[in-house]
Amino acid sequence: MTQPLTTSAAEVHARLPRIALVGVHGFGERHLDNLGRLAAAGVLELAAVADPQPPAQGTLGPAVDVFASLDELLAAGTAPDVVIVSTPIQTHAPLALAALKAGANVYLEKPPVASMAHYEEVLAAAASADRLVQVGFQSLGSDALPAIEGLVVAGEIGDIRGISATGLWLRNKAYFKRSRWAGKRSLNGTDVVDGVATNALAHAVATGLRLAGARTVADVESVDTDLYRANDTESDDTSVVRVRTARGTVLTCALTLCAPVQAAPSVTVYGTLGQLTLFYTEDRVAITTPEGTRHETFGRTDLLENLLAARTEKDLLSPLSGAGAYMSVLEAIRTADSPQPIHPDFITWEGDGDDAHPVVHGIEALIRRAALGQATFAELGAPWTASAGMSLDINGISVATLQDGTHIRPSSSPRPYLHPVRTIAGTVVTDHIPEDHVWHLGAGVALQDVDGINFWGGRTYTRNAGAYVWRKDHGRIVTESAEHSDGHRREQLSWLGPDGTPVLREQRQWRWAAVGNSAWKLTLDFTLESATGRPVLLGSPGSNGRPQGGYGGFFWRLPRVGDATIWTPDSRGEDAVHGSVAPWLAWSGTFDAGTAGAAHVTGDPGLGHPATLVFLASPQAPDPWFVRHAGYPGVGLSLAWDAPVATEPGRPVHRSVTVLITDGFLATQDIEQLITTLGESA
């Protein structure tokens, strides 16, 4: 058993713990301030410091020895009880090993080391030397962490749905000039792994992992990395790291050093009844429940004081053995492909000289979407990422992209969908994973109640509750096979329940073609048939008692639209057309989601572009229109407005809908003429 550094009051007065600090500049200056505070309180003695560049004269007391290196310090016989390592990342491992070999306990600044191999080496050395190693994740000393864990255990926010860590910081050019290793992935062949997740906002990652219950390497099932840089560096400065723990909890870390203004970083625990947000630099927690939001502020234990008082590793608040999960993240980043540069068209530089800092366009909205949707920047379709999905082209122009939906979080009911859908001129007319409803996915087919299974995503409206509630009832739709040709795609899909059992079989067809120079038409044809050998009921919140809530079937989520006009041949406005039956419904306005060009990005309103969408009703049934505008922009044809529809073996449910996507504003006369010209049944 490791012996305590202080064992009795008499021994404390006889000999205070002797501390050596390696690295007195940068963050080492904070350690000097803290050591001065604790020395003045009679808690410890600062015996020596080591740095090739000694501190300014008068900084240290006359009794503090100064050395150029840790080797010199140890060779001089100073015999420190604790060595604090606050040096460049790539030096942590050798310095920690030297201190442990000399019989000292170690306080190791974050990140503890630069590779998993070094982590395992230092961990083994600490065990062999029977010494303690504390890692400098100061946020782990916060009293807020056990308080949050207690609130979760008490059911304050219900069952956990996921955790996010977000950081919107800004760093200027001078930040990356402060040392030779700043912004480096390696230096002279030695791993450094500097970056937004591994250094600048490492506390966000470490705190998120702690609240996710992930401490050891074995606690981490997988790590997804999505790394980018706006600065002229090797390391990432704008990234999403998604961690799935062995217990199934998902932690999504969405972080940037390229924000327009700096904000307090936070970690949020999402529950079925509310959420807890820890602003870890402030030790402040926002607790949101159905009763409202309250704020509580907590104290914090200094990690050096905690190390001095510790008798065993279990007493440490941030032990090296508890950093295994964090090292799994660092190792995933270390071994990932180099961060992709963000195209300059999506960056604005603010300030001059070394004070200049980059701002990634729309980064605040993207960070929020990533956190809420458990999605990477690439999955969100940020314009500076590589495009994913299958393109639907007309005359060499990509007018839509088919996403397979496999990356969508389980509680959003993963499913195939179209996004982005564009006009011929490039205006984007769909949205997906929006902040208000992250389970809204472009254009496609979704139902909230299929024999009690949610294939829509989000909360489920139940008649018993008379409200939307979170349930573990989400299914997923997977593509079994597909045939793709110019202007046509035929798919076979399976609707699978939470246990993977097929509930429905679907045949889906997409058809697309140009209509003149400024318009094109998209037709979706889908057939749903029971895969259970018995009737399957297709329902909606409306069929379960939610007034005016009959959404489900075909649904099109629009982006933000300015000056929107919504009308049918007989009615105008959201309230009038919602729930009505009409041969077509038109939506025109100024679409702000951006274009295919570099000047517009997700979350950036840009200058806006006029477009009109005309939705033609299904000829198979008089389904009412479902329309939302005030809360969010969306259009659907309700398959089960106020009563469920049954699909039986041999008697499938079949619907088709055609959408005309046009640049500019159309009037009713234009629409009627266009429909007549196309020969469409309206």
> Does 431 lie in the same domain as 351?
no
> Does 217 lie in the same domain as 131?
no
The structure tokens listed for 190 are 């030695």
Q: What is the pLDDT of residue 608?
A: 79
Q: What is the pLDDT of residue 59?
A: 86
> Does 226 lie in the same domain as 158?
yes
| 452 within domain boundaries | no
> Does 217 lie in the same domain as 123?
no
At a CB cut-off of 8 Å and minimum separation 6, what does 66 contact?
A: 48, 49, 50, 51, 54, 55, 60
Strand partners, 657: 524
> Does 322 lie in the same domain as 206?
yes
> Does 112 lie in the same domain as 161?
no
**329, 209 Cβ separation under 8 angstroms:** yes
> Does 260 lie in the same domain as 183?
yes
Here the CATH number for the domain that contains residue 182 is 3.30.360.10
- Of 135, 167, 197, which residue sits at a domain end? 135
Domain hosting 123: range is 9-135
The torsion angle over the Cα atoms of residues 158, 161, 163 and 168, rounded to 10 degrees, is -100
Q: What's the rounded Cα separation, in Å, for the pair 363 and 346? A: 10
Q: What's the rounded Cα separation, in Å, for the pair 249 and 230? A: 30
| 482 within domain boundaries | no
> Does 60 lie in the same domain as 165?
no
Strand partners, 284: 279, 297
> Does 159 lie in the same domain as 116?
no
Q: What is the pLDDT of residue 57?
A: 85
> Does 125 lie in the same domain as 146?
no
Provide the number of structural domains found in the chain. 3
Closest residue by Cα to residue 544 from 410, 450, 652: 450
Q: What is the pLDDT of residue 10?
A: 43
For the chain (682 residues), the mean pLDDT of every run of 10, in chain order, is: 44 77 95 96 97 89 94 95 97 98 98 98 98 98 98 97 98 96 95 97 98 98 98 98 98 98 97 98 97 97 98 97 98 98 97 98 97 97 91 96 97 98 95 97 98 98 96 97 96 98 98 94 98 97 96 97 96 97 97 49 57 97 97 97 95 98 96 85 44
Q: What is the pLDDT of residue 455?
A: 98
Peptide bond into 535 cis (omega under 30): no
- Of 73, 108, 135, which residue sits at a domain end? 135
Q: What is the pLDDT of residue 316?
A: 98
| 1 within domain boundaries | no
- Of 135, 165, 199, which residue sits at a domain end? 135
> Does 184 lie in the same domain as 93?
no
Q: What is the pLDDT of residue 1?
A: 36
Here the CATH number for the domain that contains residue 92 is 3.40.50.720
**17, 308 Cβ separation under 8 angstroms:** yes
Q: What is the pLDDT of residue 15?
A: 85
> Does 186 lie in the same domain as 112?
no
